[in-house]
Structures are given as structure tokens and as C-alpha cells.
Amino acid sequence: MKEAVVIRDVSLRDGLQLVQTRVPTATKIEWLNGLMAAGLPKVEVTSFVPSSVIPQFSDAEQVASHALNVGGTSVSALVVNLKGARRAFDAGFRNVSYVVSASQAHSAANARRTTDEALNEFRLIVSERNARVDGWAIALECGIATSFGCSIQGGVDPARVLDIAEHLVAGGADSLLIADTVGYANPASVRRLFRGLFTIVGSIQVSAHFHNTRGLGLANVVAALDVGVRHFDASTAGLGGCPFAPGATGNINSEDCAFMLDAMGFDTGINMDMLLALRRKIELWLPDEKFHGALACAGLPKI
């Protein structure tokens, strides 16, 4: 009996965030169907962010109405503020994610607010969730961006991340997501931070969101696995990134990550051939993008 490790594919959200090509809703739905068919257990399907900020996600409700009516895969949406949370709840999402930045400088540049203001906004979102008739059914995840460092301010104190995590759990977060937004984590700091987190957050789920900015993405996955992390974000074709790390590779690659986990003897539920076939479609849909990932280039090994 293999142990399960869950990959949440974020290509439709984190991946499309920086893509200049506007992807038609129908294509996003084909993309989502491809992820579901390939067996991805979780997919982050869109972001409830003002269209003026990221026009790519102006079809969030349309994507939602498809995503929430097909079974098998757990779908979630990102929200950036209370207004977005209301939209996500109204659309019917039962898994909603929100993010605060551990780095003050990143918080100011990325979300134009302090970390404390972002934490306050989370409290409002929790209240809104709790006030809804079906609020009990909505799980709120809160991410902590730049948990290992930030390209604007440099280092981030792990104690600050633990402090934020404690606040979030006390404040109503159902799960946490620790994000290395711009590639500052390394296997040693990953082990230290997650060990520290597990001692303070109790039994709630803590997921990892790694970027491959400096090539350490999968090495960090191995380190996180070692200390008990079993939920990872990854992006098909390695799409994604951060506007504050231009030119760099972005999110860890779903194909490479799933391949590694499978090779290590974990059960991801993912059909590699189907995921690689979807990637080839995405390459056709986004001819101007730079794609990442070694498996798509080398192919699966001969067994």
C-alpha cells in the first residue's frame, strides 16, 4: 500500500497570472478537464482578483460554474481580499485560499498593504465565512508568501513566519500553505521551518508551495517530505513565477514533481502520459511562453 502525496496543480491560477496571452474561458475549461482526466487530486482553478489588476481572471465566475459542476477533483480558488472572498463564496467554492506575505516589503509591493493589514483582512474573510449559512462547509486556507526570503528585503525571520502561522490558526485558518515565492528556500531551511510549524499548528494541514527560481524546487520537496509534508503545489509546464523575480523559472513543475514522487514510491494518482499530453496542448495554446521542466524534454524512463 503506497502512501499518498497530494499535488495541487496551480497552473490555471499561478501559472496564468503572468501570462500576457488572454486564454479563452473555453480553453481554460479544456485545460481543467485535462488536469482532472490526468488524475490531479486538487486544482486551483482561478483567482478572484479585480479585473483591473489581472484581466486574465475576469472570467473567474464562468470558470467556477464549470469547475464546481464536475466531480472527482477538489477545486479551489484564490482570493486577494474580502470582496474576492465574497465572490468566491457566492460562486460556490468550498475551498478558498488567501495569502499574506511574511515580508513587509513584498506585502507592500505585491498587495499594497502591510502584513498586519493583510492579517486583518483575513479576519474579515473568516467572519464573512462564519456568517454564511453554509459557512461550515467552506474550508479556508491561508498561505504565507515569502516564507523563506524575499527579493526586495532579503531574509525573512523564521520566527516571524511561525508567529503569523500561529495567528492564522488561532484566527480561523483551516489549513496553511507555506510559500517560497521567489526561490529563497533550501533543503535545510525547509526542514527547520516545517519542523517548527508542525510543533505549533497542531494537526491542521500544512502544504508547501515551492518555486524553482534557483533550481532547488524538487530538492526542497524532498526535504519537506522528510519532515512530514504531504501536500504540494505545482504547476503544469512549470508555468508561473513572480513579477519580482523576472527571467527566473517559476513554480515547481507538476510533471517533474509527480514523476519524482511516483519514482520514490508515493501514490500521486496522476497519469504521467496524460499530464505530458496536456502539457503539449498548453504549449500550443501559449506559443509565446517559456516552458520549464526536464521530464517533457527527456521523456519517461524505460522500465
Under the binding rule (CB under 8 A), the answer on residue 240 touching a copy of itself is: no
C-alpha distances (whole Å) from 197 to each of 105, 156, 160, 168 are 23, 15, 11, 12
Strands 231-234 and 6-9: parallel
Q: Select from 40-48, 115-123, 125-133, 247-255 the region that touches a copy of itself (CB under 8 A).
A: 247-255
Amino acid identity at 216: L
CB of 263 to a copy of itself, least distance (A): 4
Q: Which helix (H) or strand (E) element contains residue 189? A: helix 187-201
d(CA 52, CA 45) in angstroms, rounded, equals 19
CB of 283 to a copy of itself, least distance (A): 15
Under the binding rule (CB under 8 A), the answer on residue 219 touching a copy of itself is: yes
CB 257 within 8 A of CB 7: yes
Residue 17 vs 212, nearer CB to a copy of itself? 212
Q: Select from 31-39, 77-85, 147-155, 162-170 the region that touches a copy of itself (CB under 8 A).
A: 147-155
CB 45 within 8 A of CB 73: no
Residue 31 vs 184, nearer CB to a copy of itself? 184
Binding mask 165-194 for a copy of itself (x = CB under 8 A): -----------------xxx-xxxx-----
Catalytically active residues are 242
CB of 232 to a copy of itself, least distance (A): 13
Q: Select from 26-34, 130-138, 195-203, 211-219 the region that touches a copy of itself (CB under 8 A).
A: 211-219
Amino acid identity at 59: D
Residue 89 vs 210, nearer CB to a copy of itself? 210
Residue 88 vs 216, nearer CB to a copy of itself? 216
CB burial of 24-49 (b: ≥16 within 10 Å; e: otherwise) equals ebeebbbbbebbbebbbbbbbbbbbb
Under the binding rule (CB under 8 A), the answer on residue 295 touching a copy of itself is: yes
Q: Select from 109-117, 126-134, 137-145, 209-217 the region that touches a copy of itself (CB under 8 A).
A: 209-217
DSSP reduced 3-state for 49: coil
DSSP reduced 3-state for 154: strand
Under the binding rule (CB under 8 A), the answer on residue 154 touching a copy of itself is: yes
Residue 247 vs 287, nearer CB to a copy of itself? 247
| CB neighbour list of residue 16: distance below 8 Å, 6 or more residues apart | 23, 28, 56, 57, 239
d(CA 41, CA 35) in angstroms, rounded, equals 9
CB 69 within 8 A of CB 75: no
Residue 256 vs 289, nearer CB to a copy of itself? 256
d(CA 122, CA 222) in angstroms, rounded, equals 31
**Beta strands per DSSP E along 63-107:** 74-79, 95-101
Residue located via cell numbers 508547501: 208
Under the binding rule (CB under 8 A), the answer on residue 5 touching a copy of itself is: no
Under the binding rule (CB under 8 A), the answer on residue 249 touching a copy of itself is: yes
In this structure, what are the phi and psi dihedrals at residue 252, rounded to the nearest 5 degrees?
-60, 155
Under the binding rule (CB under 8 A), the answer on residue 287 touching a copy of itself is: no
Under the binding rule (CB under 8 A), the answer on residue 212 touching a copy of itself is: yes
Strands 175-180 and 6-9: unpaired
Please give the residue ranges that form the binding site for a copy of itself (CB under 8 A).
149-155, 182-184, 186-189, 212-216, 218-219, 221-223, 226, 245, 247-249, 253, 256, 259-260, 263-265, 293-295, 297-298, 301-303
